[in-house]
A and B are shown apart, each in its own frame.
Chain A
Amino acid sequence: MKVQLTINGRRFDREVEPRQLLVHFLRDLGGLTGTKVGCDTSQCGACTVLLDGVAVKSCTCLTVQADGCQVTTVEGLSRDGKLHPLQEAFWNKHGLQCGYCTPGMILASHELLRTNPDPSEPEIRHALEGNMCRCTGYQNIVRSVKEAAKTMAGGSQ
């Protein structure tokens, strides 16, 4: 099937199999390996991307379902050589250990801050319950999201 996607601002016109998952399109055809596969069944959230600005799990989304959509992956977050405040915060606040869940965590957090720019700790935990991290115990991830919210409220981006 013919699909047309805009990924991180770049247009892709491709012929794909109907069964192809979006995550495989991104990784295998787009060369965007920042989006990870962890569980195949949408629990771990490592594959989270933004589809027209909304966080979705690309391991349970067919490429054809994304036809005509804007896709943002972790590679598309930084602008003009400058990291997104969420990327800065996860780095500065030690919000990662192995880093495998990080792209998904950052994009799920992106969705949260878009809809709730000043989330409380329970709201952050609620928003990230679909993203698993086995290394950190989540503490520094929650701190990172709070830090990013603070930076973004300050108008630096």
Chain B
Amino acid sequence: MTHKPDSYEHNMVLAQKQFRVLGTRPIRHDGVDKVTGRALYGADIDLSGLIHGAILRSPHAHARIVSIDTSAAEAMEGVLAVVTAADLGDSGDKMIDLGEGEQNLSFLRGNVLASGKALYKGHAVAGVAAASLHVAQEAVKRIRVEWEPLPAVTTTQQAMADGAPVLHDGLRTKELGKETDQTGNVAAHFRYDKGSPDEGFAQADVIVERSFDTATVHQGYIEPQNATALWNNDGRLQIWTSTQGSFVVRDTTAAILDIPVSQVKVTPMEIGGGFGGKIPVYLEPVAALLSKKTGRPVKLVMSRQDVFEATGPTPGSHIRVKMGATNDGRIVAAEAWMAYEAGAYPESFVVPGAMCVFACYDIDNIRVDGFDVVVNKPSTAAYRAPGATNAAFAAESVVDEIAEKLGVDPLDLRLKNAAKEGTRRADGVKFPRIGLVEVLEAMKAHPHYQTPLEGPHRGRGVAVGFWFNVGLESSCSISVNSDGTISLVEGSTDIGGTRTSIAMQAAEVLGISAEEVRPSVADTDSVGYTSVTGGSRVTFATGWAAHNAAQDVVAQMKERAAILWGVDAGAVEFADGTFRSGDNSLAFKELAKKLSETGGPVTGRATVHPKGVGGSFAGNIVDVEVDPETAKTKILRFTAFQDAGKAIHPSYVEGQMQGGSVQGIGWGLNEEYFMTDQGVMANSTLLDYRMPTALDLPMIDTCIIEVANPGHPFGVRGVGEASIVPPPGALANAIHNATGVRMSRLPMSPPRLMEAIWALESNPIAAD
């Protein structure tokens, strides 16, 4: 169902116009390739002379590399090349932009091939290329590394303790934005301040303060990372890979290899899921070096164990949240102390977590302290609204407890304190028109919330969450075909149907159908610079580029119509797919046939770097039943709400909501990295790292709320991420209502929940 607010007064486009294409549900352009097995993903590529590579990975979570002897591997029949960090060289250090924040080049290089020390189990140490994969895998075992194992730290508490083993000798804590001489594992401590929390808490009648821990979880895309590289004889490097950002792969690989970006061409293959985890570069530079040494194209593909141990994951965290409210239900003060695990290298997404932790509420007095902490785990990567889910689990649990103590409906408390246009977040950003109130009102009015939940061991929970979304750069070009269709070329790799959502925006402008657009995702030589598929930005920004490129086409075709009619181009109007001037009129398709006679082909182009990003709010209502014998949580009913702005393709919006919700459910109930005392992941298979299957879930009902984003020509907000934010908090609140326990640790798996239930039964007062 779709819940439409009464008016779109903040967006004139939506207020005044009905759309022909936007809001419909055409079937996807790449569908036939994907249901027939013809779509080519990264590992599917074959090239003349292709050879295969394998990677040697550290068996230790933290160890000094005393020496590496590759001679036995190189002597093996069929082995064509071996590379180590020595082949990467050291081209110095600088900050480079990966599309979702800057990163330190020496850290990126160190993560690709370990130099001096291995910082996590699975850290790549060497690469081998051989005529067959089996030979490469055998050769890897013959590389002799002399290790000096070091003690490892795998949680923020361990890493921040006095005397903790230090990962990076040169790391100095950045304290409140300033460089310091402080060494250790804290890369940065920052703070957001608003008002006076002390004065706020002094006014509060109810104060709740709790600590929370969340486990490391993985993005869990089904397609493992892969890369194929050919370092050609002319010095040009070509890369084929499954990535969320072909230009990010180009720029990062070029920086790591210290070659100009113009020397690298990246062809994005189809991508089998990413969720943020396929933005970093892991294999590409190694494949490139192996190709350079052998003169052959080299393919590298990760195993699932490699994926778990050496890519992703999203940070585990330790969070303390304190909130205070008055008896009339006003939240008057909030504090958060948040430490996130960055993994082996800095940048843990604690910054976006801190931006989002209280973003749903209009609170006068806030202090947020954030700590970015390195630990001996794989370097963390973005995962759908990175950092926000951890934070929302903590904040939404505390908000729920306040509602309980005040004896008010949890949605009413949230409505009373909801952020709205003009609310200033703790990080200083003032909200433009946002849709949280509409989301909460839709939740309250929904039949799910209106239907009482009955039966023993059952409980209902609600939660909301925020993600700010990003803009960044996108490019698009359009060629008009003589049959009245258009070919649209864009640079955003299509991870969930964006070929279609972008095509629809061009079709809307040109007055043609979505099917009359032929969208394709091009390599880095064939389209203008386009940032990552991430930050919920593709339908927003690349869609905007398509809108502008289509308008460029319209402007040029007006001139062609003017030539045909002998009038001034300024006298030609275009509406509803038809060019008109006086009594003359020509449909877009008819004029497309006459381009040759009026001057030749028409191509439109546009590049955008939009500023009008509209954040998205999501909410969940969830009913659970907790088995009193096993503490297994069964989801009885789940409804996801989200403000999409204009929902370009409602089925794809629903798909994002359902997919994100289910990932949030997995995060909340089951998924975690089990780390041994030695810092080794003990469950690095999909058997033991248990992601939700079809059998674990009910239907995920969806309710799209459309509060147009005034910063986009069609009102788009971007929908890919916010959906993952509320589920763990909503589940925790539902479990509380079912069992009486407040879970302070994710995942709320049966063993953890059983222990919490037993603790409550043995000591009801202490456990509360």
In the complex formed, the residue of B with least CB distance to A97 is B496
Contact present for A98 and B223 (CB under 8 Å): yes
Indicate whether A40 reaches chain B with its CB closer than 8 angstroms: yes
Contact present for B697 and A137 (CB under 8 Å): yes
Contact present for A98 and B220 (CB under 8 Å): no
Are A97 and B495 also in contact (CB < 8 A) when A33-B44, A44-B222, A135-B655 are? yes
Indicate whether A37 reaches chain B with its CB closer than 8 angstroms: yes
Prevailing SS type, chain A contact patch: loop
Complex: A124 Cα to B700 Cα, angstroms: 15
Contact present for B37 and A32 (CB under 8 Å): yes
Identify the stretch in B27-35, B352-360, B458-466, B747-755 within 8 Å (CB) of chain A at 4 or more residues.
B27-35
Contact present for A96 and B303 (CB under 8 Å): no
Could you tell me which residues of chain B, from 290 to 304, have a CB within 8 Å of some CB in chain A?
Answer: 301, 303-304
Indicate whether B59 reaches chain A with its CB closer than 8 angstroms: no
Contact digits for B40-81, partner A, Cβ 8 Å, 1 yes 0 no: 110110100000000000000000000000000000000000
A79 to chain B, nearest CB (A): 12
Complex: A3 Cα to B497 Cα, angstroms: 41
Indicate whether A100 reaches chain B with its CB closer than 8 angstroms: yes
**Pick from B270, B303, B304: contact of A99, CB under 8 Å:** B270
Could you tell me which residues of chain A, from 23 to 44, have a CB within 8 Å of some CB in chain B?
Answer: 27, 31-41, 43-44
Q: Number of contacting residues on B, CB 8 A?
A: 57
A131 to chain B, nearest CB (A): 8
A23 to chain B, nearest CB (A): 11
Indicate whether A78 reaches chain B with its CB closer than 8 angstroms: yes
In the complex formed, the residue of A with least CB distance to B723 is A137
Contact present for A137 and B659 (CB under 8 Å): yes
In the complex formed, the residue of B with least CB distance to A88 is B35
Indicate whether B275 reaches chain A with its CB closer than 8 angstroms: yes
Task: Determine the chain B residues whose CB is within 8 A of the CB of A83 once the complex forms.
Answer: 32, 35-36
Task: Determine the chain A residues whose CB is within 8 A of the CB of B28 once the complex forms.
Answer: 91, 94
Contact present for B223 and A96 (CB under 8 Å): no
Contact present for B38 and A139 (CB under 8 Å): no
Are A126 and B497 also in contact (CB < 8 A) when A38-B224, A132-B686, A135-B659 are? no
Indicate whether A142 reaches chain B with its CB closer than 8 angstroms: yes
Contact present for A137 and B700 (CB under 8 Å): yes
Contact present for B304 and A129 (CB under 8 Å): no
Identify the stretch in B374-382, B688-696, B730-738 within 8 Å (CB) of chain A at 4 or more residues.
B688-696
**Pick from A40, A133, A135: contact of B303, CB under 8 Å:** A40
Contact present for A36 and B272 (CB under 8 Å): yes
Indicate whether B586 reaches chain A with its CB closer than 8 angstroms: no
Contact digits for A111-134, partner B, Cβ 8 Å, 1 yes 0 no: 000000000010011101111111
Indicate whether B699 reaches chain A with its CB closer than 8 angstroms: yes
Task: Determine the chain A residues whose CB is within 8 A of the CB of B46 once the complex forms.
Answer: 31
Complex: A120 Cα to B40 Cα, angstroms: 33
Complex: A27 Cα to B44 Cα, angstroms: 8
Indicate whether B271 reaches chain A with its CB closer than 8 angstroms: yes
Task: Determine the chain A residues whose CB is within 8 A of the CB of B221 once the complex forms.
Answer: 98, 100, 134
Contact present for B36 and A75 (CB under 8 Å): yes
Indicate whether B423 reaches chain A with its CB closer than 8 angstroms: no
Indicate whether B349 reaches chain A with its CB closer than 8 angstroms: no
Could you tell me which residues of chain A, from 123 to 157, have a CB within 8 Å of some CB in chain B?
Answer: 124-126, 128-142
Complex: A97 Cα to B270 Cα, angstroms: 11
Contact digits for A62-88, partner B, Cβ 8 Å, 1 yes 0 no: 000000000001110110000100011
Contact present for A98 and B655 (CB under 8 Å): no
In the complex formed, the residue of A with least CB distance to B657 is A137
In the complex formed, the residue of A with least CB distance to B494 is A98
Contact present for B658 and A100 (CB under 8 Å): no
Indicate whether B39 reaches chain A with its CB closer than 8 angstroms: yes
**Pick from A102, A134, A140, A142: contact of B35, CB under 8 Å:** A102
Task: Determine the chain B residues whose CB is within 8 A of the CB of A92 once the complex forms.
Answer: 27
In the complex formed, the residue of B with least CB distance to A73 is B37
Contact digits for B272-286, partner A, Cβ 8 Å, 1 yes 0 no: 111100000000000
Indicate whether A7 reaches chain B with its CB closer than 8 angstroms: no
Indicate whether B661 reaches chain A with its CB closer than 8 angstroms: yes
Complex: A124 Cα to B699 Cα, angstroms: 12
In the complex formed, the residue of B with least CB distance to A17 is B134
Complex: A103 Cα to B37 Cα, angstroms: 6
Task: Determine the chain B residues whose CB is within 8 A of the CB of A22 once the complex forms.
Answer: none
A100 to chain B, nearest CB (A): 3
Contact present for A100 and B35 (CB under 8 Å): no
B146 to chain A, nearest CB (A): 30
Contact present for B658 and A139 (CB under 8 Å): yes
Contact present for A91 and B27 (CB under 8 Å): yes
**Pick from A31, A78, A106, A132: contact of B222, CB under 8 Å:** A132
Which residue, A19, A88, A138, has most C-beta atoms of chain B within 10 A? A138
Which residue, A31, A34, A99, A136, has most C-beta atoms of chain B within 10 A? A99
Indicate whether B746 reaches chain A with its CB closer than 8 angstroms: no
Could you tell me which residues of chain B, from 665 to 720, have a CB within 8 Å of some CB in chain A?
Answer: 685-687, 691, 693-695, 697, 699-700
B618 to chain A, nearest CB (A): 14
Complex: A138 Cα to B41 Cα, angstroms: 21
Indicate whether B651 reaches chain A with its CB closer than 8 angstroms: yes
Task: Determine the chain B residues whose CB is within 8 A of the CB of A55 once the complex forms.
Answer: none
Indicate whether A50 reaches chain B with its CB closer than 8 angstroms: no
A62 to chain B, nearest CB (A): 14
Indicate whether A56 reaches chain B with its CB closer than 8 angstroms: no
A7 to chain B, nearest CB (A): 12
Contact present for B694 and A142 (CB under 8 Å): yes
A21 to chain B, nearest CB (A): 11
Complex: A87 Cα to B662 Cα, angstroms: 24
Contact present for A134 and B275 (CB under 8 Å): yes
B555 to chain A, nearest CB (A): 34
Indicate whether B663 reaches chain A with its CB closer than 8 angstroms: yes
Task: Determine the chain A residues whose CB is within 8 A of the CB of B361 once the complex forms.
Answer: none
Are A37 and B224 also in contact (CB < 8 A) when A98-B495, A128-B694, A135-B655 are? yes
A126 to chain B, nearest CB (A): 6
Contact present for A135 and B37 (CB under 8 Å): no
Are A100 and B273 also in contact (CB < 8 A) when A134-B222, A138-B662, A138-B697 are? yes
Contact present for A43 and B32 (CB under 8 Å): no
Are A90 and B35 also in contact (CB < 8 A) when A125-B695, A134-B220, A134-B663 are? yes
Task: Determine the chain A residues whose CB is within 8 A of the CB of B529 once the complex forms.
Answer: none
Are A97 and B497 also in contact (CB < 8 A) when A87-B35, A134-B691 are? yes
Could you list some 17 contacts between A and B, CB below 8 A?
A33-B37, A38-B223, A39-B304, A43-B686, A44-B304, A46-B223, A83-B32, A83-B36, A91-B31, A91-B34, A97-B655, A98-B274, A100-B223, A125-B697, A135-B655, A137-B658, A137-B700
Given contacts A98-B222, A138-B697, A142-B699, 13 further A-B contacts (CB under 8 A): A34-B36, A34-B37, A36-B223, A41-B304, A43-B686, A91-B31, A97-B495, A99-B270, A99-B272, A100-B272, A125-B694, A134-B659, A134-B691
- Sort A-B residue pairs by CB-CB distance and give the 6 closest, nearest first: A34-B37, A100-B272, A99-B34, A137-B658, A137-B662, A33-B44
A contacts, CB < 8 Å to B? 19, 27, 31-41, 43-44, 46, 73-75, 77-78, 83, 87-88, 90-92, 94, 96-103, 106, 121, 124-126, 128-142
B contacts, CB < 8 Å to A? 25, 27-28, 30-41, 43-44, 46, 134, 219-224, 270-275, 301, 303-305, 495-497, 651-652, 654-655, 658-659, 661-663, 685-687, 691, 693-695, 697, 699-700
